[in-house]
Chain A
Amino acid sequence: MAVTSVLRSEFFHNYRHSASAIIGSGLMALFAFAVIAGPFLVAQNPYDIAALDLMDSYKPPVWLEGGDPRYWLGTDGQGRDVWASILYGARISVFIGVVAMLASCALGTLLGLVAGFYGGIVDSVIMRIADIQLSFPSILIALFLMSAVGTGVDKVLIALTAVGWVVYARTVRGSTLSEIEKEYVQAARVAGLPNRKIIRKHVLPNVLTPLIVIATIQVGTFVLIEASLSFLGVGVPITQPSLGLLIKNGFDVLFSGLWWTSVFPGVAIMMLVFGINLFGDFLRDELNPRLK
């Protein structure tokens, strides 16, 4: 019953007829699978020193001369399988992107609700901080924060959240302002509901829809920012290499003809972000009533 109504819905109809939606969600599903099942797909744990063999270092991809069938995308300087590194690295990249998105969304939504509902000085302070933050490139803010708090996965998450909350706060504040004008919010106040309950039960559910699009696209943005930070050497530590750090590691030998160690992780990032953005665009068209 529920399944047939989903299959018959307009949303699903549009999904089936949109190439970008199918390609985007396909790529996202591929990465979701890789992230979950990655370690079971490869024979070598690239971060287990005992599993590495220095004799296998810098093997080219399997279709080039000297390629080793065990390492179909080649190996890096420690004899690490590039394919295995990508699967492990994608885990970290996606984990950081998704967790930072959830944290930004929670923080930004909370601040936006408070600013919009209470207004006045609270609103002014929150929104001016947001304005100031928007006037700097986000990579600059993240870079500054990372050099202040140090490196590590948790520090990257803090930096990305500090950058990412603004867009939610602004969107939620705007929708909150228009929602609280509606009589059902007045009616809830008249019914004697405390403000916290009104915000949680009546305003919050009505301001969430536009956030779905922002959140989707932001995962892609965060993966890129994290990759940039790691490439610049202020991101994740060498023991937890993300896709960005893999590019950096391979970059040193890129012009010695050993291109595969950095190009393949780069292609992986590109596919991931491309898929997210394609699907995000589809969602935006679907969920924005003005574009219909």
Chain B
Amino acid sequence: MAQESETPLLAVRDLRTWFHTFSGVVKAVNGVSFEIGEGEVMGLVGESGGGKSVIGFSVLGLIDSPGRIEGGEILFDGEDLAQAGEERLRHIRGRHISMVFQDPMTSLNPLHTVGRQMDEVLRLHTDLGAAERRKACIDMLESVGISRAAERLKAYPHQFSGGMRQRVVIAIALLAGPRLIIADEPTTALDVTIQSQILKLMRRQIAEKGASMILITHDLAVVSEMADHITVLYCGKVVERGRTRDLIESPAHPYTRGLIDSIPDPAARHDRLRQIPGSVPDIRALPKGCNFRERCPRAQALCAETEPDLTKQHRSLWAACHFPLVPGDVQ
């Protein structure tokens, strides 16, 4: 395994989170493993329905019925969260692991002031007195770039713009000094002009606080700017992972190649945007063999027979493909 630090902050091993619906078992996450070291940023990439968010919620122990963690380990600082009780998980949530959501329009309660929603986290996870908590909130708002922070504590979410609201959400996520932040599409709902501001802010905050981050997104452009490592998911499984530069420059898996090629390149001016043909198969009834073969330009008879395992490729890459790409391949 491509491993950077000796003891990873978070090690997910063979995680399986399934949803038992009336129309069949949805294996949203089916045997996913990855590791994140202290201070690292890992990008979790894939199309919609690829199980990215489910991984985030699994780590926090927030999978609701009919979903269930069927197996695997979630080792956070050596402790298996998949086995932890609700009491223990509640202590970890917000304090040690926090989350930034996609839509800042709905991730703040419209009826409470920003100050109250920030204070709530500190009251729950620290022993600070009221004055200290207020100071901590003001400092945090200022550090995410909100001016006149003391006044803004009294404001309601609707008095902020989308980008400002996402700054507040980030401030709340950072407030208790977590060691791991799960950011679920943190910039998807924002204007493009705001996106890079927010990304820069998150990167700076994480570096300052020495925290690690899982960045969940479908946008390879976003992760390539932010992440040290990238894990690519397809149909609830890891199809490729490795260091960001290696993976972006010359991916081994045809699916990753497809994702990279579908990033619009203003300089190239194709007649049409490139896309991966077809769509994600029904996850309740996956075909035998490789899940990607029906959309894959390199598929051969073997791909319909056996499912490829994750194997070592060139440079830092690991990919699950029978016929991986090598540097220099032209597709």
Q: A186-B101, A191-B120 are in contact. Are A206 and B110 (CB under 8 A)?
A: yes
Distance in Å: Cβ of B103 to nearest Cβ of chain A: 6
Cβ A189 vs Cβ B124 within 8 A? no
Q: Please, which residues of chain A bring their CB within 8 A of the CB of B65?
A: 119-120
Q: Please, which residues of chain A bring their CB within 8 A of the CB of B172?
A: 187, 191
Check A193 for interface membership: any CB of B closer than 8 A.
yes
Closest to B61 in A: A189
Main SS class of interface, B = loop
Check B187 for interface membership: any CB of A closer than 8 A.
no
Other than the given A184-B108, A184-B109, A193-B94, 18 more pairs (CB < 8 A) read A120-B65, A183-B103, A184-B107, A184-B110, A187-B101, A187-B172, A189-B62, A190-B62, A191-B121, A191-B172, A192-B94, A192-B95, A193-B124, A194-B90, A201-B120, A202-B112, A206-B109, A206-B110
Chain B interface size range: 20 to 34
Cβ B110 vs Cβ A189 within 8 A? no
Q: Please, which residues of chain A bring their CB within 8 A of the CB of B331?
A: none
Query: C-beta contact mask, A161-184 vs B, less than 8 Å → 1, else 0?
Result: 000000000000000000000111
Check B111 for interface membership: any CB of A closer than 8 A.
yes
Q: Please, which residues of chain B bring their CB within 8 A of the CB of A187?
A: 99, 101, 107-108, 169, 172
Q: Please, which residues of chain A bring their CB within 8 A of the CB of B101?
A: 183, 186-187
Check A137 for interface membership: any CB of B closer than 8 A.
no
Interface of chain B residues 80 through 103 with chain A (CB within 8 A): 90-95, 98-99, 101-103
Cβ B106 vs Cβ A184 within 8 A? yes
Report the separation of the CA atoms of residues A53 and B93 in the bound assembly, to the nearest whole angstrom.
75
Check A205 for interface membership: any CB of B closer than 8 A.
yes
Distance in Å: Cβ of A179 to nearest Cβ of chain B: 10
Q: Please, which residues of chain A bring their CB within 8 A of the CB of B108?
A: 184, 187
Check B138 for interface membership: any CB of A closer than 8 A.
no
22 contacts between A and B (CB under 8 A): A182-B107, A184-B108, A184-B109, A186-B62, A187-B99, A187-B108, A187-B172, A189-B93, A190-B98, A191-B93, A191-B120, A191-B124, A192-B121, A192-B125, A193-B90, A193-B94, A193-B120, A202-B109, A202-B112, A205-B111, A206-B109, A206-B110
Cβ A191 vs Cβ B94 within 8 A? yes
Report the separation of the CA atoms of residues A182 and B108 in the bound assembly, to the nearest whole angstrom.
9
Main SS class of interface, A = helix
Report the separation of the CA atoms of residues A201 and B98 in the bound assembly, to the nearest whole angstrom.
20
Report the separation of the CA atoms of residues A189 and B99 in the bound assembly, to the nearest whole angstrom.
10
Distance in Å: Cβ of A273 to nearest Cβ of chain B: 33
Distance in Å: Cβ of A210 to nearest Cβ of chain B: 15
Check B233 for interface membership: any CB of A closer than 8 A.
no
Check B60 for interface membership: any CB of A closer than 8 A.
yes
Report the separation of the CA atoms of residues A206 and B110 in the bound assembly, to the nearest whole angstrom.
8
Q: Please, which residues of chain B bring their CB within 8 A of the CB of A186?
A: 62, 101, 107
Q: Please, which residues of chain B bring their CB within 8 A of the CB of A202?
A: 109, 112
Distance in Å: Cβ of A236 to nearest Cβ of chain B: 40
Closest to A119 in B: B65
Report the separation of the CA atoms of residues A192 and B86 in the bound assembly, to the nearest whole angstrom.
10
Q: Please, which residues of chain A bring their CB within 8 A of the CB of B121?
A: 191-192
Cβ B107 vs Cβ A192 within 8 A? no
Cβ B60 vs Cβ A190 within 8 A? yes
Contact surface of B with A, Cβ cutoff 8 Å = 60, 62, 65, 90-95, 98-99, 101-103, 106-112, 120-121, 124-125, 169, 172
Q: A190-B99, A192-B91, A192-B95 are in contact. Are A183 and B107 (CB under 8 A)?
A: yes
Closest to A204 in B: B111
Distance in Å: Cβ of B123 to nearest Cβ of chain A: 10
Distance in Å: Cβ of B90 to nearest Cβ of chain A: 5
Q: A192-B90, A205-B111 are in contact. Are A182 and B106 (CB under 8 A)?
A: yes
Cβ B103 vs Cβ A190 within 8 A? no
Report the separation of the CA atoms of residues A266 and B17 in the bound assembly, to the nearest whole angstrom.
65
Q: Please, which residues of chain B bring their CB within 8 A of the CB of A120?
A: 65
Q: Please, which residues of chain A bring their CB within 8 A of the CB of B95?
A: 192
Q: Please, which residues of chain B bring their CB within 8 A of the CB of A190?
A: 60, 62, 93-94, 98-99
Interface centre among B93, B95, B172 (most CB of A within 10 A): B93
Q: Please, which residues of chain A bring their CB within 8 A of the CB of B103?
A: 183
Closest to B169 in A: A187
Report the separation of the CA atoms of residues A202 and B107 in the bound assembly, to the nearest whole angstrom.
11
The 6 closest A-B pairs by CB, nearest first: A192-B94, A192-B93, A183-B107, A191-B94, A190-B99, A184-B109
Q: Please, which residues of chain B bring their CB within 8 A of the CB of A183?
A: 101-103, 106-107
Q: Please, which residues of chain A bring their CB within 8 A of the CB of B91?
A: 192
Closest to A202 in B: B109
Report the separation of the CA atoms of residues A202 and B112 in the bound assembly, to the nearest whole angstrom.
9
Q: Please, which residues of chain A bring their CB within 8 A of the CB of B110?
A: 184, 206
Q: Please, which residues of chain A bring their CB within 8 A of the CB of B90?
A: 192-194
Closest to B95 in A: A192
Q: Please, which residues of chain B bring their CB within 8 A of the CB of A188?
A: 109, 120
Closest to A183 in B: B107
Report the separation of the CA atoms of residues A201 and B93 in the bound assembly, to the nearest whole angstrom.
18
Report the separation of the CA atoms of residues A182 and B62 in the bound assembly, to the nearest whole angstrom.
15
Q: Please, which residues of chain A bring their CB within 8 A of the CB of B111?
A: 205-206
Report the separation of the CA atoms of residues A192 and B124 in the bound assembly, to the nearest whole angstrom.
8
Report the separation of the CA atoms of residues A46 and B109 in the bound assembly, to the nearest whole angstrom.
54
Q: Please, which residues of chain B bring their CB within 8 A of the CB of A205?
A: 111-112
Distance in Å: Cβ of A121 to nearest Cβ of chain B: 11
Query: C-beta contact mask, A64-99 vs B, less than 8 Å → 1, else 0?
Result: 000000000000000000000000000000000000
Q: Please, which residues of chain B bring their CB within 8 A of the CB of A193?
A: 90, 94, 120, 124
